[in-house]
Structure 1
Amino acid sequence: MSEETQSTAQSARPTVAVLLPCYNEEVTIGKVVRDFREALPDAIVYVYDNNSTDRTAQIARDAGAVVRREPRQGKGNVIQAMFAQIDADVYVMADGDDTYPADAAPALVAKVVEGYDMVIGDRLSSTYFEENKRPFHNFGNRLVRDSINGLFGAKVHDIMTGYRAFSFNFVKTYPILSTGFEVETEMTIHTLDKNVRWCELPVQYRDRPEGSTSKLDTVGDGVRVLSTIFRLIREYKPLPFFGILGLIVGLVGFGFALSVCIEFWETGFVPRLPTLVGGLLLVVVGLLLVVAGIILDVLAKKDRKQFVVQRNAFEYLRRHSGR
């Protein structure tokens, strides 16, 4: 192979960045960095230290990672900083707790190179339920998965996995709003709503090794995830959200008003005038909620169209800038 051909092949090779958000992971981070450097020898491994009080940053640096610090606490804040500050053709995101196998990373990268914008490392189809010792986490994963799949008509097996690969376009056009562990759920809903190209690959999951402590708060983080789903459904699916709410309120009001109308039909009197007025007001509120849902649904569809236009413009600029 000539030097010119070798140079062309190297320039065509995609650049890969491994993103590891970390908070107090000194027990495992060294092994995780070494594993990813072995699995992806040409990749740069970035460790973002999120105010750790142990030796996470130093151990990661000694293992060969590029270490940066993100002072805003929360995984969503860290990922937001990573996406803004790092440029690469392919991004692989994992956790620093050694629960995800680094040897699956090349397959995730290959799918992005193939044309997918987000590749999900699916834990739930492999060993998650056997390895994970926290039953409420298992229940929460199923609940979130079934709720989102039902609403969007999708078949995503693992909504909340932290092991994913992304394209450059996805990273630079995805607006991260969540600050904590609910960010993965937000990513998935954004992907489904905007019809972004995605796929799943089953990956083996292993529980944290002895001495490594989970930062998850089962109840607190569960409430935050559910509140995020509630907020995103309101934003992305306003017609079903406000339509169902309006229908419920309207039916309750209609029931109150109907009971007074039946009494009037039988007796010729209206003994519960406040009930009649209250029922009619509830019917009006229900109708207003339905109308609000229709208006917001039109705006949501307009937002999807704008996203496609902006994404196409971004892709055009990226190609012509030589990236």
Structure 2
Amino acid sequence: MAQPQSCELTILMPCLNEAETLEVCIRKALGYLERSGVDGEVLIADNGSTDGSQEIARLAGARVVPVAEKGYGSALIGGIAAARGTYVIMGDADDSYDFSSLDPFVAKLREGYQLVMGNRFRGGIAPGAMPPLHKYLGNPVLSGIGARFFKPGVRDFHCGLRGFDRQAILGLGLRTSGMEFASEMVVEACLAKLRIVEVPTTLSKDGRTRPPHLRSWHDGWRHLRFLLVFSPKWLFFYPGAVLFAVGILANLVLLFGPVEIGSVGFDVSTMIYATAAAVVGYQAVLFAILTKVFAEREGFLPAGPRFRAIADRLTLERGLLIGLALFVLGLAVAVTQVLRWGSVDFGGLDARSAVRIAVPAALGLMLGFQTMMSSMFVGILTIPTRARSNPPAPEAVPDDVAELDLPLTPTGTAP
């Protein structure tokens, strides 16, 4: 019997050796479709199962699409590309999510929301369903960082049960192959300003007897790394700005002499460390700018209006002039000190006085040189090139892609 080419909802489950729980998940999902009257399908994105999961899925009434490239993200990217539904609700096939209660997700999708996240902490977590490390540390910390960096308006950043508008998510060009795919989807949706909402959902203890695929520390670090890399402000700019401000302020204060706070004294040795902090902080700020320029050019991080306004003013020529001014100022101080040294026939100088002048001179030289070199690098990154637009139109995904054992690209086309 020929299957319809499109439907309203695809319930998508990534699968890698889920023979123990796959059938019950499929039956719950099919039962929901029948009971609710939603026109839909159940799709299994199989990632190379060797326990017969594929046949179990077909016999239970699901459609199976094989995805050769390994990884949680790869399986979902392939499944989303092959889905026939206008909307997709994805969830793990380990019987921890309740596929029989999807009405809140469908309702929000019909209202026009493009990403509907489940919240396990609002809906309820069954005893033993989430390890304490995940419940009290991993999820709260990572969700808090994600909320701070990207402001998605959701509190359970890593819930695996979520629904979305298929075309909107395909348009994001998601590409991570591992567990961090869950973070990438939310981050990219935030950056693209998709409409995001959260609904309560439950989490039950999974029905498998084998250990889960998730590796707590390894995958937690991958999630955190992804969040940091996609937020140059928090990775580079804010820490760098603090270090730079502290270093410059300390230098200005100590330039006029030692400072004592209680029984603690600060002098030229503190100036040297403060200079190091200022240089490191300034370099981090420059990294933030360079990262943002490169990310905007490559199209995976949009530039906000504030950054765009600043970038339009800080041209290559202005950057070179600012850097040159800092360099010349440092050089002038250094030459002045050499001339003072010559006035005493290059004899001995008071060490503290000499260092108090040499440190800001060296700081000016370093900051000036960094500014000029970074300005040149920005100039290289912004060299006009032939437009990358109007590429050849990608081939449509074959209707029988479920029968092809080919890896899918992030855009959903087979190589």
Q: TM-score range by the shorter chain?
A: 0.7 to 0.9
Where in structure 2 are the equivalents of 1:264-279 lying within 5 Å?
none
Which stretch has the larger CA shift, 217-226 or 184-193?
184-193
Where in structure 2 are the equivalents of 1:168-317 lying within 5 Å?
168-209=166-207, 211-234=209-232, 238=233, 240-251=234-245, 253-254=247-248, 257-258=251-252, 261-263=255-257, 281-282=279-280, 285=283, 288-289=286-287, 292=290, 300-302=301-303
* Corresponding position: 1:119 with 2:113: no
Shift in alpha-carbon separation, 1:50–1:242, aligned structure 2, 3 A: same
2: CA distance, partners of 1:276 / 1:144: 32
From 2, 12, 16, the equivalent of 1:23 is: 16
Q: Tell me if structure 2 keeps the 8 A contact 1:99–1:208.
A: yes
Larger radius of gyration: 2
Q: How much has 1:214 moved relative to structure 2?
A: 1.1
2: CA distance, partners of 1:212 / 1:127: 24
* Corresponding position: 1:59 with 2:52: no
Structure 1 match to 2:26: 33
Structure 2 match to 1:78: 75
- Three-state SS of the structure 2 residue aligned to 1:21 is strand
Deviations along 1:259-297, whole A, 9 cap, x unmatched?
8634599xxxx8999779757745753663575578679
Q: How much has 1:171 moved relative to structure 2?
A: 2.8
Q: How many aligned positions are there? A: 288
Which stretch has the larger CA shift, 137-146 or 278-287?
278-287
Deviations along 1:112-162, whole A, 9 cap, x unmatched?
122111111221212227442411111111001111222334531211011
- Three-state SS of the structure 1 residue aligned to 2:194 is coil
Which stretch has the larger CA shift, 282-291 or 20-29?
282-291
Q: How much has 1:110 moved relative to structure 2?
A: 2.5
Q: Tell me if structure 2 keeps the 8 A contact 1:243–1:293.
A: no
Structure 1 length normalisation: TM-score? 0.76
* Corresponding position: 1:97 with 2:90: no
Q: Tell me if structure 2 keeps the 8 A contact 1:242–1:289.
A: yes
Unaligned runs of 5+ in 2: 260-267, 306-388, 390-415
Where in structure 2 are the equivalents of 1:4-15 lying within 5 Å?
15=8
Unaligned runs of 5+ in 1: 1-10, 305-309, 311-323
Question: What is the aligned-residue RMSD (CA, Å)?
Answer: 3.4
1: CA distance, partners of 2:123 / 2:146: 20
Q: Tell me if structure 2 keeps the 8 A contact 1:17–1:92.
A: yes
- Three-state SS of the structure 2 residue aligned to 1:16 is strand
Shift in alpha-carbon separation, 1:298–1:24, aligned structure 2, 3 A: closer
Structure 2 match to 1:321: none
Structure 2 match to 1:8: none
- Three-state SS of the structure 2 residue aligned to 1:99 is coil
2: CA distance, partners of 1:69 / 1:282: 49
2: CA distance, partners of 1:169 / 1:302: 23
- Three-state SS of the structure 1 residue aligned to 2:68 is coil
Q: Report percent identity of matched pairs.
A: 24
Which stretch has the larger CA shift, 210-219 or 20-29?
210-219
2: CA distance, partners of 1:50 / 1:275: 53
Q: Tell me if structure 2 keeps the 8 A contact 1:126–1:202.
A: yes
- Three-state SS of the structure 2 residue aligned to 1:102 is coil
